[in-house]
Amino acid sequence: MSSPVSLNLNYVALFVADHEWEQLHPAVSHAHHLLHAGTGKGAGLLGWMDLPDKEEISRIEKSAARIRKDADVFIVIGIGGSSLGAKAVISGLCHAFHSSLHPQKKNGPDVFFLGEHFGSDYTNELLEALEGKSVYVNVISKSGTTTEPAIAFRIVKTWMEHTYGEEEAKKRIIATTDREKGALKTMANAEGYETFVVPDDVGGRYSVLTPVGLFPIAAAGISIRDLIAGAEEARRDYTDERLSHNQAYQYAAFRNLMYQKGKQIELLSTYEPKLTDFSEWWKQLYGESEGKDGKGLFPASAVFTTDLHSMGQYIQDGRRHLFETVLFVRKSRNEIQIPQSASDEDGLDFLAGERLDAINQKAFQATMLAHTDGAVPNVFLEMNELNVFSLGALIYFFEKACALSGYLLGVNPFDQPGVESYKQNMYALLGKSGHEQRRTELEERLNEWQ
């Protein structure tokens, strides 16, 4: 069976010499052993390398089937790693206009996300959209005290209890949280919510193939068994420590070489708009894993050909501080042909009968040639088709490559100490108990700037 994800390095010879690859072999081998022996930094957070057991999958599927049967709307409340993975898979595989489909064409509820920001208008408009609908909620938080999702859950919980009554609301709320402790776990026990566990040995950005991501994905009507099967295929593909035999490690090594050559930005570009949210998941995975100790590539993303009409000029002729990783899907699930025109006003009749996929392929090739001519290194990740199996493989590919890449960079790829800085400042400015001195200091600084 051929791999569902293929790395293409055919166009990097202009930018990386053979001896540069060779010099990385020992470092890659060392990083591989740190990872697989569990002796590197953050070794307590390697649970993502072992996928969920069948009993856990069956329980997720059973609960998700109930939601698909009874719910018109399923709200996922979380932020960062608690929501980005599920959103990436759902938007990548479900109908782009699911909420506008006739009910008979839907295979699951409309899935909406909340708890990712403090947007008043968005929150209010979502609540308005729930009127008259059967609503279920999955609140995802290991601690239950992260401000954005905690506030969102307060608001939605109040709406649920007002709409359905307290007892019925309890049956419609599912919590994914810590196994034993934390504010959300305490509340779930007191209220009798159904619960799933956030594994102790998996960080949020690596958690999409745990109940954190699998439950919302299953509730949306996507086969999590196929998703995991794709990830398992990738795990088998990417176990070899030899750089020449492991494409996930080749991608990590290429990123490292670009970093050594002074590149500062990695642009993940895709020609498939349904992968837009996947790019957001990827940005957190790499930005939070590598952006520390004054190191790391800045992860950015673009959707082509759309962004070629806004950012294309900069990519082509701007500062040479970036390289591209291109996600390309060769065949869409649906085939559309260009129709014949009566009078050919736009001059495009020469494309009549051509598939839209084929035009997208030529746009990809044309852009690659232009960008490499403009001294922008390009590496490609190609999938024959965007389906649940290939997306599972792609997720595992990036997770494995990210872990190795972090070790090559010399950082802990599994912690995120810098994330706490804004949280502590926000708690102080909001007047949380215990932060009084910090609040005074911050307010003095703000007054100086105003």
Instruction: Provide the annotated active-site residues.
Output: 288, 423
Q: Where are the alpha helices (DSSP H) in 71-117?
A: 84-93
Dihedral sign (CA 427, 177, 287, 92): negative
Tracing tokens 């072999």 back to the chain, one arrives at 25
In this structure, the number of other CB atoms found within 10 A of the CB of residue 187 comes to 17
Alpha-carbon span 208 to 341, nearest angstrom: 46
DSSP H or E segment with residue 362:
helix 356-373
Strand order across the 6-8 sheet: 6-8, 378-385, 322-331, 265-270, 298-303
Residue type, 348: L
Q: Taking Cα atoms as reference points, which of 307, 268, 226, 225 lies closest to residue 402?
A: 268
Q: Are 49 and 253 in contact (CB under 8 A)?
A: no
305: preceding bond cis by omega (within 30 degrees) = yes
Q: Where are the alpha helices (DSSP H) in 115-210?
A: 120-129, 147-164, 166-172, 183-191
Instruction: Copy the structure tokens of residue 370.
Output: 């232009």
Instruction: Copy the structure tokens of residue 157.
Output: 């919980």
C-alpha distances out from residue 421 to 418, 428, 438, Å: 6, 11, 12
Residue type, 90: I
* DSSP-assigned states of every residue in 226-271: HHHHHHHHHHHHT----GGG-HHHHHHHHHHHHHHTT--EEEEEES
Residue 299 three-state SS: strand
Residue 135 pairs in a beta bridge with 73
* DSSP-assigned states of every residue in 313-345: HHHHHS-S-EEEEEEEEEE-SS--BPPPPSS-T
Alpha-carbon span 406 to 403, nearest angstrom: 5
Instruction: Copy the structure tokens of residue 167.
Output: 């007892």
For 337, list phi and psi in degrees, rounded to 5. Answer: -110, 150
Alpha-carbon span 108 to 92, nearest angstrom: 15
268 contact partners, CB below 8 Å, separation of at least 6: 279, 282, 283, 299, 300, 301, 302, 324, 325, 327
